[in-house]
Amino acid sequence: MAAALRGMKAEGGWGVVCTEWCSIHPSSDDLPHPNAALWSDRHIKDQALMTDAVHDHGALAGVELWFGGARSANHYTRETAYDVASIPNLAGHPYQPRSMDKSDIRNLRHWHREAALRAKAAEFDIVYVYATHGYLLSHFLSAETNDRTDEYGGSMENRARLLRELIEETKEAVGDRCAVAVRYSVGGDDGESDTLTTERRDCLEMLAEYPDLWDININNYEREMGVSRFFESGSLEEYMAFVKSVTTKPVVTVGRFTSPDAMASQVRRGIVDFIGAARPSIADPFLPQKIFEGRLEDIRECIGCNICYTGDGLGTPIRCTQNPTMGEEYRRQWHPEIIAQKDSDSTVLIVGAGPAGLEAARMLGQRGYRVMLAEATRTLGGRVTREAALPGLNEWIRVRDYRVQQIEKMNEVEIFRESELNSEDVISTGADHVVIATGASWRKDGLGRSHPFAYAASELQGNILTPDDIMDGQTPSGHTVVYDDDSFYMGGLIAEKICLTGQQVTLVTPADVVSAWCDYTSERFYVQKRLLELGVALQTGFQLVSYNGHDVRVVNTYTDRTLAISANALVMVTARQPNDRLYRALETRWQEDSAIGIRSVTRIGDCEAPALIAASVYAGHRFAREFDIKPDAEMNPRYE
């Protein structure tokens, strides 16, 4: 699966395609997070699948040799972890690594060299030494974690000794066959002292000419992987702009680059020699080819939502909001730019121009089908347009804009705005197939994750609102309680939006932390930080009991202790109800009267099952891929 995914990026024109972190030894096991490995010679053929796929399209293949240290709990291998000292596990697990003695350091150097030789045998072109992100080498480098008194501790030269040895030994192992790169942090941690930042820079200058390439980032992965809600594209420049002035070796950096002009600007201004682009290459594997061909308007720009990153924490294949083919290159044989041409002259009516409807229309149009896209309002985009107007989510509008821009170039797709249809209207269009993509609406009745049934009408009275109301411009006045039983991004955003109007806000959630699922998108810390800075009061671990129009009663999920919070309004961020009335009416008519002329009625996206925007885009894409195609063995996904 990973080989097919990375081969697709190489086909799209990326010059170098790298693995993610690749473990060099069983004592550096990161499961359930998916990661590559070069533990033994048996892994060579596994990694060669990727290098072959990348080389088939003329790109170079890189491998990031990695040893986790105090970030490895080794749940799978049950091996003891190693680090510069026996410090707490930095991934939050109740394990501590063993403090390395000199024999352990010798073993590490041996493991790293053997992994480099296996990487060479697998025909990688670039071999990385990984010295950042709170893994073992970064702890040796830091005076804050390295308190050794031998030749690997004390002075900066001593603390950098292991990194220098690994660079030298890796270069000796791979010879002229591979370049050796170092992934290195130059600072950027929240609250990091100026002294530590200066040391990082001095250390880089000391080792400046050792590797063949410097891959520069910052130690704080949540900041480096920052979502667009909190961090701008290219946000690392302020930390690493000095690097080219201290080394003659090529420099690459990352930073969620979404604009080709921004990429070119950093190269032109001498900030870097190469642009690293993980998330942009996920959103559009063919971004370089489109730049080369002058088709900038065809680029699917990353929106910075970090749905791609959720796969790491969930232990699942990678997903993308913008690119529904990501992770499906092998399993479903999907290509981001190629789709089968139409198999009939059928016409399709799509009702609803949200993310599912737009994607279905785009792909059906690309296949050559005649499509009518009917939207009840003047504005296209559905929930994407509404949510992109919330604080910090403006880049999400790219989900709509890319698809509308592509559709408007197609003669096959006709858009009908301000066209709210009932079942008779649908039938009268004469369409052969009907797709209902009318989305979902937030519920007011309190059904949510911790309370999977509606509250009685007597329990919820007064000024009760939903995110839909807030997004429609209804701003409550006075103290407002936001009850978040959804636990993703919406609760925090609604609290922030109301607070920015000058109202006092309390956010209540049954979860132990605010926006718990945002841990998977690397933003939960910044969500809670933003709310606290704005003065939003937080009540975690409390479940809603009732609201009488004056007091919101909540109960502690552990102790049954109750609180009464005086409030002028209660905003319910709980669950969503599919807007499937039209689908059900049409389905009934279709089943009862075959003479109406409709050959199929299908619901997709939130109208079928409310979920992520990424799931809606995927649903629209999958419908268009599979429409009018007879299933066969080759169409079935590979689940091995």
Round to whole Å and give the CA distance between 263 and 194.
28
Round to whole Å and give the CA distance between 223 and 205.
24
CA 424, 428, 431 angle in degrees (round to 5)?
115
CA 306, 519, 14 angle in degrees (round to 5)?
25
Round to whole Å and give the CA distance between 66 and 70.
12
Report DSSP letters for 180-225, one per residue. Answer: EEEEEE----TT--HHHHHHHHHHHHHTTTSSSEEEEE-S-HHHHT
Whole-Å CA distances, 589 to 460, 593, 597: 37, 6, 11
212, 60 contact by CB (below 8 A) = no
Pull the structure tokens for residue 614: 């990424």
CA 182, 185, 190 angle in degrees (round to 5)?
165
Buried b (16+ CB within 10 A) or exposed e, 151-169: ebbeeeebbbbbbebbbeb
420: how many CB neighbours lie within 10 A of its CB? 12
Round to whole Å and give the CA distance between 636 and 640.
12
135 noted as active-site residue: yes
49, 17 contact by CB (below 8 A) = no
Round to whole Å and give the CA distance between 372 and 627.
15
Cα Rg of the chain (Å, integer)? 27
Residues paired with 545 in a beta bridge: none
Nearest to 26 by CA among 15, 16, 38, 14: 38
Backbone angles phi, psi at 98, to 5 degrees: -80, 140
Round to whole Å and give the CA distance between 95 and 90.
9
Pull the structure tokens for residue 555: 């109960």
List the catalytic residue out of 82, 128, 130, 135: 135
Catalytic residues: 135
